[in-house]
Amino acid sequence: MILVTGSLGLVGSEAVRYFLDKGEEVIGIDNNMRKTFFGKDGDVSWNQIVHDNYTFYPKDIRDCGDIIKKCHPDMVIHCAGQPSHDWAMTNPIMDFSVNAKGTLCLLEAFRKNTPDGVFIYVSTNKVYGDRPNRIGLMEDNKRFTPYDLRFINGINESMSVDNCMHSLFGVSKLSGDLLTQEYGKYFNLKTGVFRCGCITGSAQSPVELHGFLAYVARCSKENKVFKIYGYQGKQVRDIIHAYDLVTAFDAFYHNPKQGEVYNMGGGFHSNISVLEALETFEVCSEYTDTPRKGDHKWYISDCRKFKKDYPMWSYKYSLKDIIEELKGKVC
């Protein structure tokens, strides 16, 4: 049995579909708080899945330990959370409560009720704060590129999380990240942390504050102007399809570690700058010279650690595949 939090969201719904297709019994938890965070455009209720082997609970992750106690899942995939560093600034207490306390509540219920299971936490590259901006970068016409050979394969897990500005969102997610590591190391539980770059797919409800590439696609479809915040729009993001992330979870599930951390994203396999994305989707933009606090100029994940531990895993979706899917269907 697989339990998925945030089961109406992009990654959660992908995980639900994936494991149902594999014949697993799946439990989903989601109270559609994304609509609370982002308004009607963030509503994920349309993404509900109906299946004989699927049970859904519209509950808050801070109050669902009883479900874990009742169901004893073989794996918990924790996708739920407040996902925007911009939104976190407007309500730091709510952000920290959902991302940090919510994760702690889940981990403690997991430890007490299903200690032989697997717990996966969907973290973020924002745990590194703005430290990636200290990488020496060259500026081309449409993107930044590092000239420091230490980052020829991207950013790996050795990057420090100290002495930098994270954004309040980065801090709350790092708290959940560290808790998941600690429950693995301290209590000898099978836990894994996946520090993701930009995750995307057609199951996303993109908004300006979250869901970069899918939001560009939405702007294209709805003839909206995309707002660029700083760096001349040359900031680079790696892009991973939610399906490829979920297959990585599945690989970890079958050979779990204790408190392990993996950087996970599109890497050099799939990445794009803001300017390149706007050009690809033919979207008009307006520019303000002030970047978002803690925003990365360049972030590409070095996924070699995960690939070394799980050599059978590989990407299914290229950047071209992702773009074609987003052009075809965006909520």
What CATH number does residue 243 fall under?
3.40.50.720
Which pLDDT does position 17 carry in this prediction?
98
3-state SS string over 148-216?
CHHHCCCECCCCCCCCCCCCHHHHHHHHHHHHHHHHHHHHCCEEEEEEECEEECCCCCCECCECHHHHH
Location of structure tokens 């992330």 = 245
For the chain, give the percent of residues with pLDDT over 70.
Answer: 99
If you average pLDDT over every residue of the chain, what do you get?
96
User: Residue 329 — very low, low, confident or very high, per pLDDT cuts 50/70/90?
Assistant: low
Distances in Å between the Cα of 55 and the Cα atoms of 23, 72, 140 are 14, 14, 50
Which pLDDT does position 188 carry in this prediction?
98
Closest CA to 264 of 141, 155, 104: 155
Residues 6+ apart with CB under 8 A from 178: none
User: Residue 328 — very low, low, confident or very high, per pLDDT cuts 50/70/90?
Assistant: confident
Look up the pTM and report it: 0.96
Which pLDDT does position 331 carry in this prediction?
43
Q: What is the CA radius of gyration of the chain?
A: 19
- Residue 216 is part of which domain span? 2-328
Q: Which H helix or E strand runs over 227? A: strand 226-229
**What are the beta bridge partners of residue 138?**
145
For the chain, give the percent of residues with pLDDT over 90.
Answer: 96
Q: How many domains does the chain have?
A: 1
Which pLDDT does position 192 carry in this prediction?
98
